[in-house]
Chain A
Amino acid sequence: MSEFLQQLLNGLSLGAIYALIALGYTMVYGVLRFINFAHSDVFMVGAFIGYYIGQKVPQNTIGGGLVVLLGAMLGCALLGMLIERLCYRPLRGAATLNVLITAIGVSLLLEYSGQVFFGATPRTFPSVFPSTNFAFGDLVISSNQVVVIVVTALLMVGLQLIVYRTKIGTAMRAVSLNPKAAQLVGVNNDVVISFTFGLGSALAGAGGILYALNYPSIDPLMGVMPGLKAFVAAVLGGIGNIPGAALGGLLLGTVETFVNGSQWSTYKDAIAFAILIIILLFRPAGLLGKVSVEKV
């Protein structure tokens, strides 16, 4: 029983990070209808920003940890907006495929220029948050796992509030629903899209820090696998749907962890992706997605 609880906890903390990255994919997909593949590399840049700020702040303090977290979120938000401005805005009228290929190009650019600037050697991420382990019988909870789950939950609630309770959130939903009509009623689409990229990238930055806290070895290609998993999580939950991304992330993290802890650990990715295929066969729009017909 305690093994089950431990695995569930391991799965939730891994899934929380997937969910955080998945939110960025889903938000951009929601407004622009394309998948921003550079997102997983913004996640990596977030971890590296944290690495550099982390050396300047006092170690093992909550204050220092928050500075690192906010610094990475801010840096990533700016990077995300810059990417949108330079790479995606000029392609605003182009076919989705063109934008998608550009996104993959930006992704490779970030990965390999990361190798030039940061070096390809893995770095040890500083322990910026104080870390201890809490034991409840056989169940061990590390404070970093708690930080991951709490920060993710807070960011998700914050995101939900922004999207449903603020003016800019309303504008985001309007652009997502019908960009032309939104423009007609006075929404500045460029500002909204830029904001969406900033917000999504800030979440990726937070994800990068949380990931690095738990797995303190970072390198320029660290975003590839978590990014792919998060993308799968977003599709699983129903892409374009914010609670769906969260659900998908948690589900994928938990399934992966349980498979990993069984004797079939070699097949963990195979099983995770098989589940994705099965769910998409029965619910093509994902768990929480709505099936809709393209308007002609």
Chain B
Amino acid sequence: MLNFQNAFSGRVPPSKPAEQLLLALLLNYDTCGLKALSACLYVTPLPIPPMPTRSLLPVFRLALGAGLLAASLTAQETIKIGEFASLTGKEATYGQTVHKGTQFAIEELNAAGGLLGRKLELVSEDDQSKAGESATVVKKLISRDKVVAVLGELTSGRTLEAAPICQMAKIPLISPGATNVSVTTKGNYIFRVCFIDDFQGTVMAKFAYDSLKLRRVAILSSASSAQSVGLAKYFHERFTAAGGTILAEQKYGEGDKDFRAQLTAIKASGAEGIFVPGYYAEAALISKQARDLGLTVPLLGIDGWESSELIAIGGAAVEGAYFSTHYSPENQSPAVVAFNARYRARWGEDSNALSALAYDSAMVLADAIKRAGTTESAKLRDAIAATKDFAGATGKITFDAQRNPTKSAVVLVVKNGKFAFLQDVNP
């Protein structure tokens, strides 16, 4: 097909569209592969430059020596802490809030003189809320920026991607909000400062059964999110154990925007409530479409619902929805009041669960660096693991043998377009 006539020549054999589809699928869906390739190229050390001619060698050596000296001096100056978050993309409000919390912690630490006589430097990377991207940016943080520890991600799926990389490089990872049970099983360098889904599922099942007196509910969960799959399972177990019935269990895929089919099936099942363990982008559309279909039953969510976008997109549809989370600025405990006041002074807005968790993750790390007296990875890891009764903004943190903290949860309700504190639930 090289000339004009052939390119247009009459009818084309029917296999053509199928071939074009295949090609498109390969190319469109293999951007991850392409990215992985470019990432490999990116992190691979540059080839050693060819030896300069003899006369230039001393100059070269001198320059190299000076360069190395300068490099080691700057390395002495700051302690680099890596952070990866969804600063843009589907879950951007998560990443941005988390980043505020982390940055605030680093600023406070630096204002107090830094750690081990050195200032802290936060190296932030954006994973664009995309699968595959976390692995790339965490590799970059470790191999190029040489961070002493990595903070992140809020979501379980993306933390699970980064965990094996950190474990292999023996760089401690502290996740502010990855609640999926399997996260910390990836290795002894992986920690988190939030409760786990096992507990969150219990909280919501108990709340639905005891507080809302629901007996027959439906679950609409994401088939592609590690957190959602886990929570659907725990909620199901606990709710049926308490004596309730799960009438329907529907699933959706990543990036779905139409949930009317699942909701119509749920409506037909006669459920008294719907448990939606998902993130705010989907949760808001689900709430909206549920109300559009005339489903007026209570909606129950999880910590992933906590975002101003939930209300921006969901509007009146999310009014009256309940969800469990890690922290509420309305909580009157002195630690929360004090933290929230300082946070408010810095950012001009109230803190929330995400920023408080992120703050805690950085503070737990700082505390461990202080106790370890070094940033050497094995000692730092042991110091993090030994964290006991650390008073964080989201409660006391003590790591168990699985590197998970035991903490309480709060249930919030959406009231007049705001998240209102409803109750505290202890483990």
Contacts and interface: CB of A to CB of B under 8 A. Distances in A.
Contacts of A6: 264, 267, 293
A180 B261 contact: no
Interface in A97-134: 100-101, 104, 107-108, 115, 119-122, 124, 133
A10 B258 contact: yes
Contacts of A37: 24, 28
Nearest to B312: A124
Nearest to B128: A120
Contact of B1 (A96, A108, A215, A261): A96
A33 B292 CA distance: 41
Given A7-B261, A217-B285, A260-B261, A280 B18 contact: yes
Given A34-B20, A133-B292, A3 B2 contact: no
A239 B312 CA distance: 40
A100 B18 CA distance: 13
B313 interface: yes
Nearest to B293: A140
Interface stretch (A63-71, A72-80, A152-160, A283-291): A283-291
Contacts of A285: 14
Contacts of A169: none
Contacts of A138: 267, 294
Contact of B268 (A3, A96, A121, A289): A3
B3 to A, nearest CB: 6
Given A10-B264, A14-B258, A178-B10, A265 B281 contact: no
Contacts of B407: none
A266 B251 contact: yes
B14 A265 contact: no
Contact of A120 (B24, B129, B258): B129
Interface residues of B, number: 58
Interface residues of A, number: 77
B16 to A, nearest CB: 8
Interface string B13-25: 1111110110111
Interface in A215-234: 215-217, 219, 221-222, 224-225, 228, 231-232, 234
Contact of B261 (A10, A35, A115, A235): A10
A266 B229 CA distance: 12
Given A135-B294, A142-B292, A215 B262 contact: no
A7 B15 contact: no
Nearest to A121: B92
B27 A293 contact: no
Given A95-B7, A133-B294, A140-B294, A265 B261 contact: yes
The 6 closest A-B pairs by CB, nearest first: A260-B261, A292-B11, A120-B88, A215-B257, A261-B261, A121-B92
28 contacts: A2-B268, A7-B261, A10-B261, A14-B258, A33-B7, A37-B28, A100-B20, A107-B28, A121-B89, A133-B294, A135-B294, A140-B292, A178-B10, A216-B288, A217-B281, A224-B28, A231-B21, A235-B17, A257-B258, A260-B252, A260-B258, A261-B262, A265-B261, A266-B223, A285-B14, A292-B11, A294-B11, A295-B10
Given A104-B24, A120-B88, A228-B24, 17 more contacts: A10-B260, A33-B12, A35-B21, A93-B2, A95-B2, A100-B23, A119-B92, A124-B313, A133-B294, A215-B257, A215-B285, A216-B288, A261-B262, A263-B250, A265-B262, A294-B9, A295-B10
